[in-house]
Structure 1
């Protein structure tokens, strides 16, 4: 009975722990349960981000797993002043672009739908909410890689500082990329909506 309380008690502590606290458990104690909790929290968003770089579901899944393995392998290099997600997104982004450099032809999967944050009711978001998944994917494909990465991170509620760290750019460069991406997406989505 005592063993059951210990297991369940540890599990609820992990559920309440921040990403940083979980990573410190992984770093110091090789705590596999903490690492699994990090994976559960972050893998879906990382997968979606990587998917829009490689445009292939199975490759995005593979790169997502590789990014987590790299995170684990390099766990001793973790510094507690860094956000875990920022470090992980940087690893995933680099792996995705390495893959993209190696492979020129990319297949497109039609099953991913982007959801935009509901709190900002900009014209871009209204148009995106009315557009189909396919229209959004086509519009995102028209963006340069850096603009697409910035807008996807913005849509996942990353702040400018975190995006700058992930993309290895200045905060001002990130703001410019987001503004240009919004303008381009608005233009493309308005054009598509008018033709419907």
Structure 2
């Protein structure tokens, strides 16, 4: 996102803090789709992602005057949505969140028959990305799909920049291995 986009978002936040309903509608229009896509990959439910987007923009409405400008507005919005998603996921039962239980489940989508049927490289890449750990998948998502810089990702995740760099490095390495195993080279198509 360019500096002029962030300046526009800052002006919209100032207007929202003054209870300008048109400004929240414009900010929503500028960011809801990107936030929805991010949250959908995070929670894997369209209905839940939509609800989280709505809740996020309600919080933006309430907290617009408290924005401190330590990050881009878009990163602040994603952080709010991410925190809401994490809160929601923590409320789920232990069995749904238990890593040992999750890894014991058989992944039917990775059979040779399914892989053969899914020749589309984008589909195969998504399958490989979904095999990454949550931290690595989130790093890939923020870098490549949300187009965030390392500094912005550090703000969103509330971790040091070096932690983000390490996660991105290991995520790329693991993704490269998974893509190679799936028969996908680095070229396109």
TM range (shorter): 0.7 to 0.9
Using the size of structure 1 for normalisation, the TM-score is 0.72
Using the size of structure 2 for normalisation, the TM-score is 0.74
Aligned residue number for residue 24 of structure 1: 14
Instruction: Quote the Cα distance in structure 2 between the aligned partners of 1:160 and 1:179.
Output: 12
The unaligned stretches of length 5 or more in structure 1 are 1-14, 107-129
CA contact (8 A) 1:131 1:193 kept: no
Instruction: Quote the Cα distance in structure 1 between the aligned partners of 2:182 and 2:60.
Output: 40
Aligned residue number for residue 187 of structure 2: none
Instruction: Quote the Cα distance in structure 2 between the aligned partners of 1:17 and 1:32.
Output: 19
Deviations, residues 109-168 of structure 1 (Å, cap 9, x unaligned): xxxxxxxxxxxxxxxxxxxxx6132x2332222222221111111012111111100000
Instruction: Quote the Cα distance in structure 2 between the aligned partners of 1:16 and 1:167.
Output: 20
Aligned residue number for residue 41 of structure 1: 30
CA contact (8 A) 1:50 1:60 kept: yes
Q: RMSD of the TM alignment (CA)?
A: 2.2
Deviations, residues 24-67 of structure 1 (Å, cap 9, x unaligned): 1111x211111111111111111111111111111111111111
Instruction: Quote the Cα distance in structure 1 between the aligned partners of 2:34 and 2:6.
Output: 19
Residue 97 of structure 1, CA deviation: 1.2
1:56 and 2:40 aligned: no
- Counterpart of 1:77 (choices 66, 79, 85) is 66
The count of corresponding residues between Structure 1 and Structure 2 is 155
CA contact (8 A) 2:76 2:156 kept: yes
